[in-house]
Amino acid sequence: MTAVPPVDGIPAALAEPTRRVGPRWIAFISLGNLALWMGYFGPLQVLLPEQLAAVAPEGKESALAWVTGAGAAVAMLATPVAGALSDRTAGRLGRRHPWTLGGAVAGALAMVFLAFQGTFAGVLVGWCLVQASLNAMQAALTAGVPDHVPVRQRGEVSGWIGVPQTLGVVAAVLLVTVVVTGVRPGYLVIAALIPLCALPFVLTTPDHPLPAEHRRRFDPRGLVRLPRFGHDFAWAWVTRFLMQLGNALALLYLLYFLTDAVGYERLFPGQDAGQGLLVLILIYTVAVVATTVVAGIVSDRLGRRRALVTVSGLISAVALLMLALWPLWPVAMAAAAIMGVGFGVYLSVDNALVTEVLPEAAGRAKDLGVINVASTGPQVLAPAVAGPIVTGLGGYPVLYATAAALAVLGAVLVRRIRSVR
């Protein structure tokens, strides 16, 4: 890779990008993200629930809540730490690519370990290792957008990168329910695909090296030092936390919702709820793919990110209220389509918005890691909120109504961000 000369004394690694990225760069970072999200959602949607149902059949809901909550707690720490270390990595291979590939390989090894666990403790440890590794990979991949993509293209690129997030759910569920059967083969297939999908981006795209003289000393206190409340970065964090908490509440018990509330297996004898989950995911995915890139391009051209985030939250709330009021299979399919539209808009526009409120170029990966806590933190909190609601405080109607209220609140508070239209 040819070194890029500094501009006005600022090295390329820290400069604000001005040149549009091409289709190959977008395709390969999207492929890396596909691997990442398969690694997250294959276990979350199918493998972990099935594994824990076998390990702890009488307390599967609580076991799933503990495992996913512990994994999310690890993710909350791993992403900003890995991001901060990536920001300070000085070498000819660049700041991001070593962490992308290292996280992918470590995540694959952790997935293999998880495949052979037959106890609750083993599953919990294995999933925490997977989360730590994949979140290190995510910290590096996410920083690629502000590192290389100019502001005027970020909505479009965020849309393309958002597509694999949704396709990763479908691909992972298809892999572990159709292509292979069984928990162990499912983990092993995903483990093999994660580094394979990350390699093209790492090997063929530039990653500007950070000159050693520009490397800052690592200060752990910086990981928890947020901008003062009222700063746009802080409001971006709060609104993402609320939106993602609503999403986490909706998804955590979706497989059990189809079994216990909708009665999918009673409605369709011979089928299990996992097949119904796959149908909902496919509907949702089509809606996301149909909207996310378009929404990103529209936000680039209009320059209005906040309004589109507000619209996306309100659309998602409608879908969640449908699930709360009418736990019926046709309603669930319609809600999946509506939620896909809402999340498709949110996915591209919010990611672009966040990159525009980062405090400084030298800490992009760390700051995006802090923002990512707003996505992983709800995974910790959701089990503590959802578990008591499902088991004794109103059941699934209250759960989905609560998720809808959180989506609306996030949609309203995004208006507090002032530096982005």
Q: Three-state SS across 230-279? A: CEHHHHHHHHHHHHHHHHHHHHHCHHHHHHHHHCHHHHCCCCCHHHHHHH
Residue ranges of domains in the chain: 23-202+227-416
3-state helix, strand, coil in the chain (%, to 5): 80, 0, 20
Report the Cα 3 to chain-centroid distance in Å.
32
Give the DSSP H or E segment for 294: helix 273-302
Structure tokens at 301: 């051209």
Distance CA 397, CA 394 (A): 7
The closest of 295, 245, 237 to 407, measured between CA atoms, is 245
| pLDDT of 2 | 42
Taking CA 129 as the corner, what is the angle to CA 75 and CA 240, rounded to the nearest 5 degrees? 15
Query: Which 3 state secondary structure label does DSSP give 7?
Result: strand
| pLDDT of 8 | 55
- CATH fit for domain 23-202+227-416, picks 2.30.30.30, 1.20.1250.20, 3.90.25.10, 3.30.43.10: 1.20.1250.20
* Per-residue burial over 361-380, b = 16 or more CB atoms within 10 Å of its CB, e = otherwise: bbbbbbbbbbbbbbbbbbbb
What DSSP designation does 8 have?
T
Please list the pLDDT of the chain residue by residue as tens digits (421 residues).
Answer: 444 554 556 777 778 888 999 999 999 999 999 999 999 988 988 899 899 989 888 888 788 888 988 888 898 889 889 998 998 888 788 889 999 999 999 999 999 999 999 999 999 999 999 999 999 999 999 999 989 999 889 889 988 988 887 788 778 888 888 888 889 999 999 999 999 999 999 999 999 888 877 777 766 655 555 545 458 888 888 888 998 898 888 887 888 889 888 888 888 888 888 888 888 888 988 898 889 888 888 888 887 888 888 999 999 999 999 999 999 999 999 999 999 899 888 888 888 888 888 777 777 788 888 888 887 777 768 877 888 888 878 889 999 999 999 999 998 998 888 877 6
| pLDDT of 220 | 63
Is residue 146 packed enough to be buried (19+ CB in 10 Å), middle (13-18) or exposed (0-12)? buried
Q: What is the pTM of this model?
A: 0.79
* Length of the chain measured in residues: 421
What DSSP designation does 224 have?
T
311: how many CB neighbours lie within 10 A of its CB?
Answer: 17
